[in-house]
Amino acid sequence: MEGSFDGFDKIFLASSTWGVGKIPSRIKKNVINNHKGLKGKEVFIFGSGNTIYPNFCRAVDSLKTICEDSGAKVIGTYKFEQRFVEKDVDKQELEEVKKIISNWNS
- What is the mean predicted confidence (pLDDT) over 2-24? 89
Give the pLDDT of residue 103.
81
Give the pLDDT of residue 23.
95
CATH architecture of 10-105: 3-Layer(aba) Sandwich (3.40)
Mean pLDDT of the chain: 88
pLDDT at position 1 over 50? no
Between CA 48 and CA 18 the distance in angstroms is 10
Describe the crossing of helices 58-69 and 25-33 by its angle, rounded to 10 degrees.
Answer: 10
Give the pLDDT of residue 2.
66
Say which amino acid occupies 75.
Answer: I
Give the global pTM.
0.86
The domain limits of the chain are 10-105
Higher pLDDT, 100 or 10: 10
pLDDT at position 35 over 90? yes
